[in-house]
Structure 1
Amino acid sequence: MKLFTTLLLLVTVLSMACSTNSNPVSSVPETSTATPVAYKPIVTSTTKADKSGIRPMQKYYRPTGTTSGPVRIIIDKSDFELRVYDSKGLLAAYPVVFGLKPLEDKFMQGDRRTPEGSFKIAYSKEHQLWRKMLMLDYPTTESLIKYKLRKKDGLIPANASIGNGIGIHGVERGNDYFIDRYYNWTNGCISLKNTHIDDLARYAKAGTIVTIQK
């Protein structure tokens, strides 16, 4: 009888333990925080990754390899992707990374956020560290309006400035893995692999419209 009672008690304890461990919420404290290393978006049907978790370059070629009509660029922050379109549709797409807080709009200088809105490429130049630099016309009138409203609402310190110098560029030699691993390292610019910025520069010229969105 004592043996039966002991076995029954043991089964009850084990049953309660399994029930507790099966609850994913109970195993992670609500106050726990993870060390931020790189933002890794959820892979969707339009953003496929290989077994290592690295998204490959997405590139679409035309038979002639030339553009048709005016070119425009859409940078999708949620997908970490830069897409090039012409009059025939999608021409090319490249993986990109951003500043420290990739999915937040830029508020002011020094916040390391990438601005959202409609911009134009002002000019391009070779860069000693980052291969090429396609400079955007930030801040635009749209950027200034948002900046003033946020300052009025107290979201920006009174002595803060809006900032400038936002562009699309490569990485230092040997750092292409920043893009592979979604390492958001810039101060607010958009960064591609060096071979990709070379390719993009074939299409993107001064005056090209660039839309940055979530």
Structure 2
Amino acid sequence: MNRRTFLAASAAAGLTGLAGCATSKFRTYDGPAVTQLLAAKSQRRLYLLHYNKALAVYDFQLGFTPQGHKQFEGDGRTPEGAYYINRRNPESRYHLSIGISYPNSADRAFAESMGRSPGGDIFIHGTPKEFDGKADWTAGCIAVSDREIEDIYAMVNDGTPILLTS
């Protein structure tokens, strides 16, 4: 597994394999590879899996219209289905973020058939203080705490599959 660095205080998440120097803001993850992510929308739970074993589980917030599959730009929904992690942003305005490959070709085709844009820029990201404690505030992303996105950012490689279920 590639080593991923992330910004964190040395007392971060308490997961086995997280290591770092107390004087450095950069840490690495050397544990088992995350082979898949599962985002269970109705439970608001994100599972980082090594095959069938959960390495970590996080609560999350969704878009402002949390039920149903994202179809159009601005609908406030979070996608459902099989995607993959396709990019990362260490300079995100939401602390750190990793991108989800929405829209896929079926999402684009459906939106275009309706004369609309499918939207995009769906991420797993941190939570700014002004949204801390608020329910379902994103535009369709998955929001975790800043400390949690630091763990996720370190643990998850680009190309990792993610299944988003209702």
Task: Give TM-score, length-normalised by structure 1.
Answer: 0.60
Structure 1: which 4+ aligned runs deviate by more than 6 Å? none
Is the counterpart of residue 172 in structure 1 residue 136 in structure 2? no
Counting only pairs closer than 5 Å after superposition, residues 17-32 of structure 1 correspond to structure 2 as none
Larger Rg: 1
Mapped contact 2:64–2:136 kept (Cα < 8 A): yes
Letter in 2 for 1:166: I
Aligned pair partner of 1:104 in 54, 68, 90: 68
Unaligned runs of at least 5 residues, structure 2: 1-12, 19-29
C-alpha RMSD of the superposition: 2.2
CA distance in 1, matches of 2:42, 2:69: 12
- Do the aligned residues in 2 keep the contact of 1:60 with 1:91 (CA within 8 Å)? no
Structure 1, gaps ≥5 residues long: 1-58
Please give the alpha-carbon distance, in whole angstroms, between the structure 2 residues aligned to 1:122 and 1:93. Answer: 21
| 1:196 corresponding residue in structure 2 | 148
1:208 maps to 2:160: yes
Letter aligned with residue 144 of structure 2: L
SS at the partner of 2:150?
helix
Q: Percent same amino acid at aligned positions?
A: 24
Report matched runs for 1:26-175 at 5 Å. 61-62=15-16, 64=17, 66-87=30-51, 89-147=53-111, 151=113, 156=114, 158=115, 160-173=116-129, 175=131
Between Structure 1 and Structure 2, the one with more strand by share is 2
CA deviation digits over 1:109-168, x for unaligned, max 9?
1111111111111111123531011011211124235546xx4xxxx4x3x111111111
What is the CA-CA distance between 1:79 and the residue it aligns to?
A: 0.1
For the residue of structure 2 that corresponds to 1:127, the secondary structure is coil
